[in-house]
Chains A and B, each alone.
Chain A
């Protein structure tokens, strides 16, 4: 079931594009810019919008005989993948080109974006009346 849901998540469609973008763009952005909160904010926002955080789908999902937690899990995995795979690609590049110190801001960026993703998705967890522990895990 999880696999089926994952296959259908629209986030996969943007993954190749994101990966390529990250791979191409990152080497041109200096370490300082990476710490720039504005860049961080824009990146997060773009990630989330493009990864389709559309809440209205829940009414349609509500009619399907799939446990709510599987929906949320599939969404989380897909969104995190969209975040991390390009990030890892970019980090790999940076490692090779500049050394591992420069790769750290990238790691921080990816981690913070993951947190934002988890927090925004935790709202959906609540809607689906699931146990609260994923929300706590996200807070950690």
Chain B
């Protein structure tokens, strides 16, 4: 899966990587057990600091999406992290409030946000459908 970073983005680079990999896993573009590039490889490929890659990988590991095997490398977890429904709901609710606040401050309406959510859903699951077909 090809990663892309924008240094000037509002979101820090390590978080862009965390998001893209998370989306990749959710959309099955990254298969369970798939090997991820090493810190150095990804740093040299994206022309970013190795420390940034390490930070992203550390966060993904903490969230339970990837795991490091000493001497072998970093892999997508074979099994997705056990969902903790209630805390997941709380987190998603907080993120939803942040999303809506920002959207409203930016002049969007609720109906616009819903439309955008549907588009995003399509993008995330499309990746999953494609992977399952192939």
| A touching B, CB within 8 angstroms | no
Q: Which residues does A use to contact B, with CB under 8 Å?
A: none
Q: What is B's interface to A at a CB cutoff of 8 Å?
A: none
